[in-house]
Amino acid sequence: MTIQLTRMDGGTVDLSPEILQSFKATFKGQVLTAEDPAYEESRKVWNAMIDRRPGLVARCTGTVDVVQAVRFARQHGLLSSVRGGGHNIAGLAVCEGGLMIDMSLLRGVWVDPARRTARAQAGCTLGDVDRETQLHGLAAVLGFVSATGIAGLTVGGGFGYLTRRHGWTCDNVVSMEVVTASGEVVRASADENEELFWALRGGSGNFGIVTSFEYRLFPVGPEILGGAIAWSGNDARQVLDAYRAFSAEAPRELTSVAVLRIAPPALWLPKEVHGKPIVAIFVCYTGKVEEGEALIAPLRGLGQPVADIVTRRPYTQMQSLLDATQPKGRRYYWKSHYLPGIDQRTIDLAVTHAGRIQSPHSAILLFQIQGALGELPAGHSPAGNRDAAYVLNIAGSWEQPGDDDIHIQWARDCFEATRACSTGGAYINFLTEEEGQDRIEAAYGRANLDKLAALKRRYDPENFFRHTKSVSG
């Protein structure tokens, strides 16, 4: 049966059964069409608001498959997209009518404990990498949710509990294996294809398909001090005011995240607060556990907490503590700012808009990031905004499509109200698809964006990798 696919120029092309069979013959993995039983699941990503239908899905089992998929798409002028973990808020992994190059089966991780490095394939999640590296008491700088894919996280910057100590995730990449727009395989590092290496450390998916990452590792765990303390939402202003001082004075081994939301029916929260507003502070201390107890004591002595699960725990457990708040299949809409700090105006606005949350799954989060990332110059990588101290994430989340307008508007209202509190910067991985070039420039800065655009013309002059956040202007 002939299949009609979307071209890069917006038109369509009909592929005969013979052409499709010829592609399958060169491809070790699965090539799925809408008729295949696995197709529906393969096209679904974390954010249920993304409902695109690729014409073909190429599920790669190795780098050769990626090369074959790129060459096939180029040969027929196909619109293409690249899926890693499928966790991006904008759903850029899935294109409409084109070829989705699916990397999610590439889950290998190889650790070199002597060199303190790990090589991980592009389909890995954070949990995959943490599980292998923690066997050796080592960790990469990754994010906060274990189901997040490492590929999108890394090429968009990346931050997590270790960022205050070691910088962005992309600052700690040693090398990458990359399939270029021409279908060639190259290595990018500080001494090989240096300009490509620079562009890939924050420039998103504009320059090639990274098939594996080599990360620098650091001694962490396997046991750390971490968890969360929660208070009634009535105490939100008092708690956030204390959080402002607590986080500003904390050593880099201690990272914290403040969360305003409606209490979920989680086992760690008492039943009497379920469904009621709460404020919680998640903490992760990766220094000596005994020292961490003293540092966290002021939080434990603040007011009357309704729950306290800060304890010695495996680092891998800390890395998955927020997983239940972001399950695959809900509808998500985010807005975000970088903040230079937390002032009274920020606190007042956060509390006010948290009081307007109408979904039991939505939240306002303050991620602490200030530290090592500010010690490198703005042009060290495209992931700029090294002057930021916090990330404010306005995370709308709900179940039913009919409620989209209500919750999207809540997030937009909070975003606009807090705009004056921000640095003016933006985190590329938190941008929704609707956000335009002004926000992309806010993510990179004008100088970095101009350099990215020049490198885009060099490495991908035909804009083959177009289903991403464009750096072309």
Task: Please give the pLDDT value at position 363.
Answer: 97
Res. 1: pLDDT tops 80: no
CATH 3.30.465.10 residue ranges of the chain are: 109-219
Encode pLDDT of 395-448 as tens digits: 999 999 999 999 999 999 999 999 999 999 999 999 998 888 999 999 999 999
* Fold of the domain spanning 3-102: 3.30.43
Encode pLDDT of 91-112 as tens digits: 999 999 999 999 999 999 999 9
- Mean pLDDT (whole number) for 275-291: 95
- Mean pLDDT (whole number) for 5-23: 93
Encode pLDDT of 319-336 as tens digits: 999 999 999 999 999 999
Task: Please give the pLDDT value at position 230.
Answer: 97
CATH 3.40.462.20 residue ranges of the chain are: 223-430
Encode pLDDT of 153-194 as tens digits: 999 999 999 999 999 999 999 999 999 999 999 999 999 999
> What percent of the chain is predicted at pLDDT more than 90?
93
First-to-last C-alpha distance (Å) of the chain: 39
For the chain, the average pLDDT equals 95
CATH 3.30.43.10 residue ranges of the chain are: 3-102
Task: Please give the pLDDT value at position 159.
Answer: 96
Res. 253: pLDDT tops 80: yes
Task: Please give the pLDDT value at position 266.
Answer: 86
Domain 223-430: which CATH number of 3.90.1150.10, 3.40.50.620, 3.30.465.10, 3.40.462.20: 3.40.462.20
Res. 473: pLDDT tops 80: no
Encode pLDDT of 364-386 as tens digits: 999 999 999 999 998 899 998 99
Closest of 230, 364, 352, 251 to residue 302, by C-alpha: 230
- Mean pLDDT (whole number) for 85-94: 92
* Fold of the domain spanning 109-219: 3.30.465
Res. 123: pLDDT tops 70: yes
- Mean pLDDT (whole number) for 205-217: 96
Q: Structure pTM?
A: 0.94
- Mean pLDDT (whole number) for 107-132: 98
